Amino acid sequence: MLRKIRQTLAIVFFAMVTLLFLDFTGTLHVWFGWMAEIQFLPALLALNIGVVVFLLLLTLLFGRIYCSIICPLGVFQDVVSWISGKRKGKKHRFAYSPALTWLRYAVLVLFVIACIAGINSFVALLAPYSSYGRMASNLFAPLWQWGNNVLAYLAERVGSYAFYETEVWIKSLPTFILALITFVVIGVLAWHNGRTYCNTVCPVGTLLGVVSRFSLYRPVIDVEQCKNCRLCAKKCKSACIDLEKHQIDYSRCVTCMDCLDACKHGAIHYENRFRQERETNTGNSKEASDSSRRSFLTLAATLTVGSVLKAQEKKVDGGLAPIIDKKKPERQTPILPPGAGDKRHFAQHCTACQLCVSECPNGVLRPSANLTTFMQPQMSYERGYCRPECMRCAEVCPTGAISLNTLADKVSTQVGHAVFVKELCVVQRDGVSCGNCARHCPTGSIQMVAENPDDPESPRYPVVNVETCIGCGACENLCPSRPYSAIYVEGHERQRLV
Amino acid sequence: MEKNNNPINRRKFIKIVGISTAALSGVLPGCTSEKKETAGNSSAPQASGEMTYRTAACGDKVSLLGYGCMRWPTLPSPAQDGNVIDQAAVNDLVDYAIAHGVTYFDTSPVYMQGWSEKSTGIALKRHPREKWQIATKLSNFSNYTRENSIAMYKKSFEDLQVDYIDYYLLHSIGNGGIETFRGRYIDNGMIDYLMEERKAGRIRNLGFSFHGTQAVFDEVLAMYDKVHWDFVQIQLNYSDWRHATGSNVNAEYLYGELEKRNIQAIIMEPLLGGRLSKLPEHIIARLKQRRPEDSVASWAFRFAGSPEKVLTVLSGMTYKEHLIDNLRTYSPLIPLSDEDYKFLEETAQLIMKYPTVPCNDCKYCMPCPYGIDIPGVLLHYNKCVNEGNIPKSRQDENYRQARRAFLVGYDRSVPKLRQASHCIGCETCNPHCPQSIDIPKELHRIDAFVEQLKQETL
């Protein structure tokens, strides 16, 4: 029964957190955004004391159920391990192994030091939620989007507006490769040894393990009932049941309740450590595994919809002039998303979970390739610009690294300023009149000024008011000059309200 | 329970399919019902009788339906020599048209990115010369010099593979005002040259096609005494009859002036590039109510064909279905009654209430040097106007659906990089528009509307 409840909750959490990364329409986070906010590290970085205390209390009461239910990376490993266990003869493939205590604590100490010193690439590399976000955003989201695009293609054929096409592209190659490596490493570990990652590397797992040693409820082996059949140890994906001593390593136990159902002699109970008398409960294990199989299949079906690739053909009439792609200008200072505050604040609070990158509907946010801010989001305007009606990155950010109260705040937050490059401007190059930058500036910070003060008919060039410019990139994105825009945005290290 | 449901569903399904096939055969050319009525006395199953013909001043028997060669079917990608036209499809359409009585074919050196004359020539060459008349134009829009104009004229003979041209037109008079007209035809002596050619028999009829202001029309028409225009091509349809848009002149005036001088009219844009068949639902219902079996387009063609001084009505038919439908309308023409005229005038007034952009998708504005799909943007806007998807405010009842239909449909019809937001207002397009639409102004207006929809500030 307990195992069944654990499985059900885990699947709900896992599915919803994953959907947060997949959903590009921005509707889900209204309902399930809190699931990202109760992740341990994001809550810690957001200084969300309530959540941190709650999670610690939860662990102190019931053991590491955080790792079994709330952590998407944990559940992801369970799913991989479950598939691996379905192979013939692999049902009982685990065995007790002693804890690699020194490695665990060394990683935890390094992690804490990295957190304090602001070595974010290291933090993002190890943090479980960031690792999962990286995989979901880089590997699962494209599949989901391709599936959506197939539906959009069909919808277009039947004249429905229910689905619209989205663009699938690699936002940063280093991050994509790292996501692939994370997927393979964690996948292989889970395939062979279950929760190895959680109990040797994961800093959150180690930290909660310290607490869960003293948890109120925990599984206990009844020595009198135990027949030493080792079934529980062979089923324990955390490899923490030592049957020689009839002991369980509670720092590594993720309270998955698998052992409870595995024991044929009713010798393992989940009970209050202060309670002497024994509760009698029997669970129906067959039913539980059946329902979990069904749930899993549903989930898998949802995830793999549309691995069918749609051959994309742009309809181009012969009468259309070719358009070349924009290239990214060399920016001295990277542009941070509005609400990121200043460079240092952002670097310390962002876990690089990629949720905002997944969510950005305008193709503006992408992971940084710079080592000190590795994988943290940055803005660039080759595919779109930061539109005035959108603050989705701030809405989804679980750590508060990007935080905005209202849209009014967003359109008055200066993230950078526009710089004009006259030699690229089509007014000079093609001898035409333009002004597309001025026409689209949401703050009215660009005016077109005649070159010759004595001749109002002379060519007009944009003049940027850097005091009111917010750096949204509308001018850069819509500038007709290609591949390099004649007006581009330089980032600011410290954002301010204008 | 479930078992009981199945047969009912299947029966229902068959019933529905049965109905829809019946409905389809009603829509499809030919109309099985009509075929039965007229079986035995007509070789053309699609029409109830013979094509209506008009006699030209020179004695030609000209079909009332003229084939406009501006919208030939295109290939998915241009052929090796750059030809964009699907020649096999053109041959098929031309064969069908000639077999059903069409004699008049209208092209220009600039149509279809310059490939129309060649394609049309190839298709027509396969039929006896006396079975068809060819019309082409002096389309010297950018280079007015005498040498270039004569070269263009001579090239037409080569491309069309003919030794005489039945109808030769000064192309699109009125665009750019009287100055441009003088530059293109008077100052370079082309008008005298062409009159000589007419005398030599290489041009059988000389005329002009007109888009523009009344002053230019009056002045060019007044040259009649000198040039003796054999015909004039004007834009005429039940919307432009009294409600011409922009700087265009009401067709009622244009036709009246021609009638006064006893000059025959050739009609272009009878359907406004399809705008008079892509109408709002309730206007379609209104037309269908009056003649349930006739297409929406047939009203426009009957209107254009009814006046006696009309020699032929041009239609750029890309699809066989359109050709068949138009053949049906004109075989024979059922002239409009006085009530019909009144009914169409009321219809025109209803259409006027829909603020569509008067773009007929002629693509003269293309290519835009900055890559914008101008007709694509304007046609999407018009579609949304007709379908009621241009919300006026957020309080509108259908605001949500309309907003979604407009924005999602916009991205589907026009790739993001070719949308109105990229129009810089260089105005390269403006002098080319026969409907004198201020294209950048319209694009900026549509772009501002899109912004309002996106930002929800409507």
* pLDDT tens by residue, B317-359: 999 999 999 999 999 999 999 999 999 999 999 999 888 999 9
**pTM for the complete prediction?**
0.74
- The mean per-residue pLDDT over the stretch B433-446 comes to 92
Q: Is residue A11 predicted with pLDDT exceeding 90?
A: yes
The ipTM is 0.74
Q: Is residue B20 predicted with pLDDT exceeding 80?
A: no
* Res A279: pLDDT: 44
Cβ–Cβ under 8 Å, residues B147 and B155: no
Q: Is residue A293 predicted with pLDDT exceeding 70?
A: no
Query: Cα angle vertex B170, ends B138, B141, to 5°?
Result: 55
- The mean per-residue pLDDT over the stretch A324-342 comes to 92
* Res B3: pLDDT: 46
The helix-helix angle for A173-193 and A72-85 (nearest 10°) equals 50
Terminal alpha carbon distance of chain B: 52
- The mean per-residue pLDDT over the stretch B215-237 comes to 93
Q: Is residue B35 predicted with pLDDT exceeding 70?
A: no
Condensed to tens digits (0 to 9), the pLDDT of residues A345-362 reads: 898 889 899 999 999 999
* Res A139: pLDDT: 93
Q: Are B412 and A164 a contacting pair at CB < 8 A? A: yes
CA dist., res. B108 & res. B363, Å (int): 14
CB-hemisphere CA count at 13 Å for B217? 21
Residues in chain A closer than 8 A to B113 (CB atoms): 318-319
In terms of Cα–Cα distance, which of B70, B52, B50 is closest to B61? Answer: B52
The domain limits of chain B are: 45-352, 374-455
Residues in chain A closer than 8 A to B418 (CB atoms): 320, 323
Residue at A110: amino acid letter: L
A85 and chain B: CB distance < 8 Å anywhere? no
CA dist., res. A286 & res. B28, Å (int): 62
Residues in chain A closer than 8 A to B423 (CB atoms): 436
Cβ–Cβ under 8 Å, residues B112 and B85: yes
The residue of chain A nearest to residue B83, with distances taken between CA atoms, is A318
Q: Is residue A296 predicted with pLDDT exceeding 50?
A: no
Best of B80, B370, B419 to substitute, by most chain A Cβ atoms within 10 angstroms, is: B370
Q: Are A321 and B370 a contacting pair at CB < 8 A? A: yes
Our CA dihedral for B162, B165, B166, B169, rounded to 10 degrees, sits at 150
In terms of Cα–Cα distance, which of A413, A360, A382, A387 is closest to A488? Answer: A382
A180 vs A12, A102, A135, A188, B274, CA distance in Å?
25, 28, 7, 12, 52
Condensed to tens digits (0 to 9), the pLDDT of residues B52-107 reads: 999 998 899 999 999 999 999 999 888 888 888 999 999 999 999 999 999 999 99
Indicate the pLDDT class of residue B213, thresholds 50, 70 and 90. confident
Indicate the pLDDT class of residue A29, thresholds 50, 70 and 90. confident
- The mean per-residue pLDDT over the stretch A46-70 comes to 92
* Res B7: pLDDT: 52
Q: Is residue B135 predicted with pLDDT exceeding 80?
A: yes
* Res B160: pLDDT: 96
- The mean per-residue pLDDT over the stretch B38-64 comes to 74
Q: Is residue A118 predicted with pLDDT exceeding 80?
A: no
* Res A157: pLDDT: 87
pLDDT above 90 coverage of chain A, percent: 56
* Res A92: pLDDT: 83
Residue spans in chain A of domains classed CATH 3.30.70.20? 412-498
Q: Are A435 and B424 a contacting pair at CB < 8 A? A: yes
Condensed to tens digits (0 to 9), the pLDDT of residues A382-401 reads: 999 999 999 999 999 998 89
Condensed to tens digits (0 to 9), the pLDDT of residues A445-495 reads: 999 999 999 998 899 999 999 999 999 999 999 999 989 999 999 999 999
Instruction: Please enumerate residues of B whose Cβ is less than 8 A from a Cβ of A.
Output: 74, 78, 84, 113, 363, 366-371, 373, 401, 404-405, 408-409, 411-412, 415, 417-418, 421-428, 444, 454-456
Condensed to tens digits (0 to 9), the pLDDT of residues A186-232 reads: 999 999 989 999 999 999 999 999 999 999 999 999 888 888 888 89
Q: Is residue A275 predicted with pLDDT exceeding 80?
A: no
Q: Is residue B18 predicted with pLDDT exceeding 80?
A: no
Give me the residue from B84, B371, B409 closest to A323, CB to CB.
B371
- At residue B299, φ and ψ (nearest 5 deg) are -60, -45
Q: Is residue B2 predicted with pLDDT exceeding 60?
A: no
Residues in chain A closer than 8 A to B422 (CB atoms): 436, 478, 480
* Res A120: pLDDT: 80
With a CB cutoff of 8 Å and minimum separation 6, the contacts of A171 are: A357, A365, A366, A367
Q: Is residue A319 predicted with pLDDT exceeding 80?
A: no
Cβ contacts below 8 Å, chain A against chain B, sum to 74
- The mean per-residue pLDDT over the stretch A402-423 comes to 93
* Res A147: pLDDT: 92
Q: Is residue B29 predicted with pLDDT exceeding 90?
A: no
Condensed to tens digits (0 to 9), the pLDDT of residues B261-284 reads: 999 999 999 999 889 999 999 999
* Res B45: pLDDT: 41
- At residue B166, φ and ψ (nearest 5 deg) are -70, -45
CA dist., res. B363 & res. A476, Å (int): 29
- A24-49 exposure pattern, b = at least 16 Cβ within 10 A, e = fewer: beeebbeebbebbbbbbbbbbbbebe
Q: Is residue B42 predicted with pLDDT exceeding 60?
A: no
* Res B366: pLDDT: 85
- A199-217 exposure pattern, b = at least 16 Cβ within 10 A, e = fewer: bbbbbbbbbbbebbeebeb
* Res B141: pLDDT: 83
Residues in chain A closer than 8 A to B366 (CB atoms): 317, 319-320
Q: What is the DSSP string of B208-221?
A: EEE-S-HHHHHHHH
Q: Are B428 and A426 a contacting pair at CB < 8 A? A: no
CATH number 3.40.50.150 is the correct assignment for the domain at B45-352: no
Residues in chain A closer than 8 A to B403 (CB atoms): none
- The mean per-residue pLDDT over the stretch B368-382 comes to 93
CATH class of A412-498: alpha beta
If you average pLDDT over every residue of chain B, what do you get?
A: 88
If you average pLDDT over every residue of chain A, what do you get?
A: 86
Which residues of A, range 423-482, sit inside 8 Å of B by Cβ? 426, 430, 432-436, 439-440, 478, 480
A408 vs A175, A365, A405, CA distance in Å?
32, 20, 8
Give me the residue from B78, B368, B404 closest to A161, CB to CB.
B404
